[in-house]
Amino acid sequence: MLQIAAIRENKDAFAQALKKRNIDAMPLLENAISVDEKRRSLQAQLDETLAVSNKLSKQIGDLFKSGKAAEANELKSQTGELKEKSKQLNEELNIAVTELQDILYTIPNIPQDSVPSGNSDEDNEVLSQHGVIPTLHAGAKPHWELVKDYDIIDFELGTKITGAGFPVYKRKGARLQRALINYFLDKNTAAGYEEMQVPLLVNEASGYGTGQLPDKEGQMYHVGVDDLYLIPTSEVPITNLYRGDLLEAKDLPIAMTGYTPCFRREAGSYGSDVRGLNRLHQFDKVEILRIEHPDHSDSALDAMVVHVKNILEELELPYRILRLCGGDLGFTSTLTYDFEIYSTAQDKWLEVSSVSNFKTFQSNRLKLRFRNSEGKTELAHTLNGSSLALPRILAGILENYQTESGIKIPEVLKPYCGFDIID
């Protein structure tokens, strides 16, 4: 969430920057400023009324002590009026505060200068490409056919017990899935990320804290009876571990990783992009997150990109790195790098990771602060990245490592799997 003080000082610059997201934000920004002016005026009136009331109360006390009861009682009628006025002002102030917060919740983060303009994923900037795209044998198949041949993932069985988008992993498919989770976690913890195991359901405050609410409300599964949400990513519960905290500068950086199943309704998804593992309602993901000093978040983002690169290179999957354009940038992000692996069987690039810097956008919502070297409090920066999302990584391995005699296992995963080939 943007800070209202920053909006007042940078209204024109923010409106110009948000054009990269293809939105005219000026009406929202001006509305926020207008409501904030009303809020400030009400606060000033309330403060003044309370000050007068307190002054009169002191005078009344002094008059009673001096035996001037008549004068004291005369003033008491004025304090009654002031209390009623204070009550009314306080109610109006609470309404203005809520109205301002609701407006601020709808304004996305400001893209960094390096974010390219563009309308969709077709306008994302390809920064680099790595690895060798394999040449497959004649008759090579996409993963949704391979898994049937080797009986390792059952989409129909998942539909039977739940619905479409909830696959059942079987035999070597389940073991490969578990191997990837353990491998990712080991890589992350070896790099200094502390492992966390967190709830899969969060309350509304947590959803607002990291920006999934209200922006992605329709994409999250809601347990209405208890007013809880199934997590779309472990970013939500892990980041919220520090909601409302005041840290010391020496505590930073904080680096965390966690594995969770993730749940997304993916409403409106259709076509070839949703086939097989390409898009699911429930999927596994390992996440890395950082809470950083503002001076270090840019370099921390670069280090996270290098970390994900190293994992993909160890898996020997061809990949490329993109810088997302304004039209494809997530609501909470100021800068995002996407990683895509190439699926030779599908003849397409598959997104497997997003690594993002949110600067103070999340921490302002979370009220996540730290005390700097001067003893003053300021908002920390938050970052997160997929390290990695499993479905498309698994799809890429199954498709790119297939041979006529079976599906080979990447060398780095063999100790985790306990087998060399799926046959």
* Residue ranges of the binding site for ATP: 264-266, 351-354
Contact in structure between 26 and 10 (CB atoms under 8 Å): no
Contact in structure between 318 and 130 (CB atoms under 8 Å): yes
Residues belonging to the binding site for L-serine are: 233, 264, 287, 384
**DSSP class of 420:** S
Contact in structure between 282 and 262 (CB atoms under 8 Å): yes
Q: Please list, in sequence order, all residues whose beta carbon lies within 8 angstroms of the beta carbon of residue 286, skipping any fewer than 6 positions away.
A: 181, 184, 185, 188, 257, 258, 259, 386, 387, 388, 390
Q: How far is residue 51 from each of residues 42, 54, 65, 89, 308, measured CA to CA in Å?
A: 14, 5, 21, 14, 57
* Main-chain phi, psi angles of 356, to 5 degrees: -135, 150
The Cα 108–Cα 18 span in angstroms is 8
Contact in structure between 360 and 332 (CB atoms under 8 Å): no
**DSSP class of 296:** G
Contact in structure between 289 and 383 (CB atoms under 8 Å): yes
Residues belonging to the binding site are: 233, 264-266, 287, 351-354, 384
